[in-house]
Homo-oligomer: A and B are copies of this chain.
Amino acid sequence: MPVSKTVRDALEGSSMIRRLFEEGAELKKIHSAVFDFSLGNPDLDPPEAFYRTLNELAREKVKGSHGYMSNAGFFETRAALAKKASRDQECEIPASNIIMSAGAAGALNVIFKSILDAGDEVIVPKPYFMEYRSYVSNHGGKIVEVSTKEDFSLDLEKIENAFGGKTKAVLINSPNNPTGSVYPRADMEKLGALLKQRGAKTKNYPYLVADEPYREIVYSGVSVPSVFNAYSEAVVATSFSKSLSLPGERIGYIAVHPGIQNSEETLAALVYATRVLGFVNAPALMQRIVAKLTAERVAVEVYESRRNAFMNVLDSVSMSYARSGGAFYVFAKVPARKDGSSDDREFSACLKKHLILGVPGSGFGAPGWIRFAYCVDENIITGSAPAFRAALAEWTG
């Protein structure tokens, strides 16, 4: 019996990032120096406090601590994270409004399962992390892409024009993968006002879903404003994958605005979706660990130093790029060839010949751009300059 037709189709066009990752692994077997900027796999070690807490909890034998708990998670963990989320979102969030999840990817699937019916639309500013397409289509929904402005900031007019009878939610991601953009407070407020206006007009307030796994990965002078202050029909998905370098442990949470309409039903739906999608609950031991690490994060200054090093490399070869305030990506513009063309897939292939791996912007809905993930040793970044120079010489001819 063949597999699902929709999955078979998806496999054919499957993840460009994953394919690059595999090609990278092949290249590394042959070449000693590969400049692999393809995958956003945080390479910084988790903070010392993580190892300390893991050891402490490993020694404890608490009856039932590896057993089932409420599908929403351990109450102590939800209470601890409610305090953290209250600080982040600048408003009082009760423990009941925190649902533990298997990372942000798990959180988003739970959210979309909870809110979408077949044919419902989710508006997403592009470029965006392409897995969102699956997270929405898994549950019968449809992504409606809207362009951002030239600097990758929100284009509110475009969002307004995308509203329709099937609009169920707007999905944002700040700090952004792939651009590194952080939406400033003023833009968040304007987005909130637009959603309120839409809600008042249609008597149906769209959900605002904010994917925030990079909230803690921001640099000097940049801060990520509250989503909840801007709009109350809001749900935040986040994880400790980046802030504590634990992406393999699949631990994150959903925070629901304390003033959301249908509060009880929304929370019940999220808990239900957590259960029936087979997550059942977020991994127990990691729930107990992150509850104790709400003040910890990885050495973000290392990422900042790498970002600066990467910008230096790109400056040295006269490539232009988006101003990145956070996350660990530089989104660079593909230089025009002599004939004026700037195909990002061809450019990525050209870079690969010089052992540089970057993901074509087409993979994020932004042809003509390329994403470099700089969660690699700084020596690899600085060491890539000659390879960039050679690749560009070949590219521009």
Contacts and interface: CB of A to CB of B under 8 A. Distances in A.
B66 A248 contact: yes
Interface stretch (A270-278, A310-318, A379-387): A270-278
A55 B58 CA distance: 5
Given A247-B68, A248-B66, A285-B285, A278 B1 contact: no
B113 A249 contact: no
Given A59-B55, A246-B66, A114 B7 contact: yes
Interface string A239-259: 000000111111100000000
A103 B14 contact: no
A300 B9 CA distance: 45
A2 B233 CA distance: 10
A306 B212 CA distance: 48
Given A61-B45, A106-B279, A249 B4 contact: no
A11 B284 contact: no
Contacts of A280: 102-103, 105-106, 247, 250
B233 A4 contact: no
A176 interface: no
A10 to B, nearest CB: 6
Contacts of A45: 61, 63
Interface in A86-129: 102-103, 105-110, 113-117, 120
Interface in A38-71: 39, 41-43, 45-46, 51, 54-55, 58-59, 61, 63-69
Contacts of A199: 1
Interface centre among A168, A246, A275, A277 (most CB of B within 10 A): A277
Interface in A1-45: 1-8, 10-11, 14-15, 18, 39, 41-43, 45
A361 interface: no
B68 A276 contact: no
A192 interface: no
Contacts of A279: 102, 105-106, 250, 278-279
13 contacts: A1-B262, A3-B265, A3-B266, A3-B269, A54-B58, A55-B55, A102-B250, A106-B278, A106-B280, A131-B276, A135-B276, A250-B280, A285-B286
Interface of A: 1-8, 10-11, 14-15, 18, 39, 41-43, 45-46, 51, 54-55, 58-59, 61, 63-69, 102-103, 105-110, 113-117, 120, 131, 134-135, 138-139, 168-169, 199, 204-207, 233, 245-251, 261-262, 265-266, 268-269, 272-273, 275-286
